[in-house]
Amino acid sequence: MRIRAAAGVVIAAATLAATGCGPSEPVEDPASSGSEAAAGEGATEYPLTLQNCGREITVDAPPDRAVSLDQNSTEILLSLGLEDRLAGTASWTDPVLGDLAEAESEVPRLAQNAPTYEVVLDAEPDFITASFGRHFTTEGGVASRDRFAETGLESYLSPTDCEDGRSINGGGTRTRMLETESLYTEIRQLAQIFDVPSRGEDLVEDLQRRADEALEGVDADGATVAFWFADTRTPYVAGGYGSAARLAETAGMQNVFAGTADDWPARSWETIVEKDPDVLVLGDLQRDRFPGDLLEEKIEFLESDPLTRNLEAVRQERYIALHGAEMNPSIRFVDGLETIGEFWTEQDDE
């Protein structure tokens, strides 16, 4: 990928420290099976029952052939060393994290976007995970959770997509800002389900440490910001309660669309120009779904369009480039924070 030689553009390094087994799981191989992990002190007791987005789910044993319907969920499972227990993945917006590439190469990719219900069943799964509730909708989704249950398949939806028992991405609307703790809950619960609880704690501790360090000495001084995820025609921007809004608040920036409840509402370019944010966070999506998914396409549009080229952020080339997964609720939120921190550090040095 061509990297624009502009001081205002920061490209996120796709790295995540690998996490190993903790003392309660005396297993040398991080990809060891659930039955081996169960020999350790403090391992999961089955059947395991959890409350999950308005449903009660029961898992009788560690899954051996899970299917993950989203990149976010997949990268958590890979970070927990569970590639040998994944029967398939789907819905990728970006290349896998660099440290997880070797593990991911061992897992079948069922579809680049959402797979069909039949494709999922052909993988012979024993458990289904998803980051976004749209996959569990009856219209336009893979299949409802009830339909999966009819075939004996338990399913798990990320708590980051839930509020008061409702899926946000499956048709709900947030009434309060996403809490980072919901991501940590997802990590811990998936680790518990797969019988590797201390690996989950290790991963959470690593993310918390990196998040604390990402913005040390950084002062955004209340700069205004707009997050542009995708689409040049009617751009999808970050609303006031989702993961990107949490990034802005954590970094001390003011999201110009903070008053919008939807995670990614569509807005006109006239509205964005009227807001005239100090900084633009641009999604660099490695897919071909909407015009302007790639970073280069976004910048070319911004600097050539008669309307957007007058934005102050465009004139000053104040861009922060993040992968799509870094603007959605995922373990990559830390990479997003680190990139934002690097941007403001560079601004202070100029």
pLDDT-based confidence at 72, cuts 50/70/90?
Answer: very high
**For the residues 287-311, what does the mean pLDDT come to?**
91
pLDDT of residue 36: 42
Q: Under 8 Å CB-to-CB from 311, ≥6 apart: which residues?
A: 272, 273, 276, 277, 280, 302
What pLDDT does 37 receive?
44
Residues in the chain: 350
The enclosing H or E element of 157 equals strand 154-157
- Measured CA to CA, the distance from residue 191 to residue 198 in angstroms comes to 8
Give the residue from 104, 153, 158, 98 showing the smallest Cα distance to 133. Answer: 158
Q: What's at 19, amino acid-wise? A: T
> 92-109, pLDDT tens digit by residue?
988 999 999 999 999 999
Angle of helix 197-214 relative to helix 180-193, nearest 10 degrees, comes to: 160
Per-residue pLDDT at 294: 92
Q: Could you give the angle at the alpha carbon of 146 between the alpha carbons of 142 and 152, nearest 5°?
A: 95
- pLDDT tens column, 82-94: 999 999 999 998 8
| Residue 344: Cβ-neighbour burial (10 angstroms; 0-12, 13-18, 19+) | buried
* Count of C-beta atoms within a 10 Å radius of residue 332: 27
Largest CA distance in the chain: 65
Average of per-residue pLDDT across 190-213: 97
pLDDT band with cut points at 50, 70 and 90 for residue 288: confident
Task: Tell me the pLDDT tens digit for each residue of 12-61.
Answer: 333 333 333 333 333 334 334 444 443 344 599 999 999 999 999 999 99
Q: What angle (nearest 5°) sits at the alpha carbon of residue 282, between those of residues 281 and 283?
A: 125
Q: Which residues, including other chains, have CB under 8 Å from residue 321's CB and lie 6 or more apart?
A: 9, 10, 11, 12, 281, 282, 284, 295, 339
User: Residue 10's pLDDT band (boundaries 50, 70, 90)?
Assistant: very low
Percent of the chain topping pLDDT 70: 88
Both tokens of 16, joined, read 């995540």
pLDDT per position as a tens digit, 115-158: 999 999 999 999 999 999 999 998 889 999 999 999 999 999 99
Q: Give the chain's domains with CATH numbers.
A: 44-194 (3.40.50.1980), 220-349 (3.40.50.1980)
Residue 35 DSSP SS3: helix
Contact (CB, 8 A) for 184 and 150: no
Measured between alpha carbons, how far is 70 from 114 in angstroms, rounded to an integer? 8
For residue 91, give the DSSP letter: -
Query: What distance lies between CA 42 and its chain's CA centroid?
Result: 29
pTM of the predicted structure, to 2 decimals: 0.86
